[in-house]
Amino acid sequence: MDELENQIKNLNVLVVGDIILDKYYLTDVSRISPEAPVPIARFKCETNILGGAGNVTLNLKKLGVENVYSVGIVGVDNSGKQIQEMFKCEGIKFMPVFSSDDTITKTRILSDGKQLLRLDFEKNVNSYSNLSKQIIKEISDVISNIDIVIVSDYVKGCIRKEVLDYLKTTGKFLVADTKSTDIENFSNFNLITPNFPETCKIAEKLRYTERIENTNLSIEKVGKFINSKLKSNLLITRSEMGVSLIDSDVNHCNIEKAKVFDVTGAGDTCASIFSCLYYLKYEKNKALNLMNAAARLTVSNIGNYAPTFLEVKKEFLKEEFDYVLTKNDAIKKMLELKAEGKKIVFTNGCFDILHKGHISYLTEAKAQGDILVVGLNSDASVKRLKGESRPIIDENSRSFVMSNLKAVDYVVIFDEQTPCDLISALKPDIHVKGGDYKKEDMPETEIVEGYGGEVRILKFIDNNSTSKIIEKIRKYG
């Protein structure tokens, strides 16, 4: 996933939408008021968080996107000043459009992790109608540098038709996370991200006549209907029923249950990470699973929690993570192990459809030292090496199986054609390959011997290969 992390890092993303200041008053409640049957909340502390479109930008920044831009409306009050300072501290390039109205603020009073009350401070949405030209000007100043534009529309007045019409002229990758019922204004966006209730409202507005249920079949039907009407792809989040992507085909993804502390901001998290993955044309099912992992982290924490890429990666890989390392994590781990005097053995391969030959080879490889690290070719790398029909087993399944083998201590997935870059970074004491390789023909040899390591060729095990297994399956079914 190192390549994906770098791709996300290099994106330029603009978020346009309703900026909200989320205030959290944390309190203790131990008694009921004698004045009325309400709890007495004793104030402990206050936390301020970027909300609305601000939370989308924060999610992008925490995810690792270096260049995050934001255009939105704030007042000239203290809340507006706080928001500008928060953007600055997070390294987000904020272009504020100032209103004479106070900044939209939501104040939540919590005790023991649960909300007691929410107070909303906001004016009528029509009060911003005269600010659209200024919003368009701010967008136009940066749009040439932008890859993705995310419209975060909480229907608070920032996003109006003229702004959307301008965005459609830019030719940029457009994503809409909107609560608006004027859904026709978002036609021809690359992606729209409604939840299930919002999908039902959109369908009703577009005069869909069938009954809508939160099932794969029903969602597929209504999703295709909306897609055909709006000419926009859909990412439909469906609470405990998972998520569905409706574009040229249909992808459904179940969601693993999580302990829910607060659903605030979960939609922002989903829109942020999936927009990046979808723009990068990351494999759809993996993208949906990564998004679900991010959402689990958000709802498992209080408030607008924005997970980092490392946190998402850990949640995605779960128990395998102790053994499946990123390149950077592997470098740190190898330094620790070498400091303990451990001899590191490295080998690499696709390991697609694990068989007896693989197990024998890995067992012998482990016997060469103390720790065996396996460099595993990513799906993209296998495809380049073996052809479009491979791999048979995806990289996450292969890494999970590999990491649970007795002989294997750690697995690192790499995207390159050869493991040369990975070997240069890890500097294992011994690099081993099977008997069907010749040391002098391997590009790794010069690298390993260059830093004082050793290359060993193990005994060749005949009549064992994934290709032969696939050929036999195809022949006999």
Show the domains of the chain with their CATH numbers.
2-28+39-319 (3.40.1190.20), 323-476 (3.40.50.620)
| Helix 53-63 with 309-317: angle, nearest 10 deg | 70
3-state secondary structure of 423: helix
Question: Are 346 and 375 a contacting pair, CB within 8 Å?
Answer: yes
Residues 216-264: tens digit of each pLDDT: 999 999 999 999 999 999 999 988 888 999 999 999 988 765 544 445 5
Average pLDDT, the chain: 89
Which pLDDT tens digit goes with each residue over 328-362? 888 988 998 999 999 999 999 999 888 888 898 99
Please report where in the chains the tokens 């301008």 appear, as a residue.
Answer: 166
pLDDT at 135 over 90: yes
The catalytic position among 18, 22, 268, 429 is 268
**What local confidence, expressed as pLDDT, does residue 22 receive?**
92
Q: Examine the pLDDT at 109 and tell me if it is beyond 90.
A: yes
CA 153-106-266 angle, to 5 degrees, is 55
Whole-angstrom distance, CA of residue 185 vs CA of residue 230? 9
Integer angstrom CA distances of residue 224 from 189, 214, 216, 247: 15, 15, 12, 8
Task: Summarize the confidence of residues 82-98 as an average pLDDT.
Answer: 96
CA of residue 196 relative to chain centroid, distance? 20
* C-beta of residue 192 within 8 angstroms of C-beta of residue 176: yes
Beta-strand ranges (E) seen in 141-220 are 148-153, 173-178, 191-192
Whether the predicted pLDDT of 158 surpasses 80: yes
289: Cα separation from own chain's centroid: 8
Three-state secondary structure string covering 336-347: HHHHCCCCEEEE
pTM value is 0.67
Residue 268 known to be catalytic = yes
pLDDT number for residue 460: 65
Q: Rounded to an integer, what distance in angstroms lies between the CA atom of residue 92 and that of residue 69?
A: 6
Q: Which residue has the higher pLDDT, 125 or 417?
A: 417
Question: Residue type at 133?
Answer: K
* Residue 15: per-residue pLDDT: 98
Question: Lowest-pLDDT range, 316-325, 375-384, 452-461?
Answer: 316-325
Strand partners, 50: 21
CB atoms within 10 A of CB 352: 24
pLDDT at 21: 95
Beta-bridge partners for 430: 345, 454
The length of the chain is: 477
Rounded CA-CA distance 338/303 in Å is: 42
Banded pLDDT at 125 (limits 50, 70, 90): low
Strand partners, 207: none
Q: How many CB atoms lie within 10 A of CB 36?
A: 6
The answer to whether 459 and 364 have CB atoms below 8 angstroms apart is yes
Residue 395's nearest CA partner among 456, 316, 332 is: 316
From the DSSP assignment, how many helices (H) and strands (E) are in the chain?
17, 19
CA dist., res. 408 & res. 400, Å (int): 11
Report the candidate in 115, 94, 103 with the shortest Cα–Cα distance to residue 24.
115
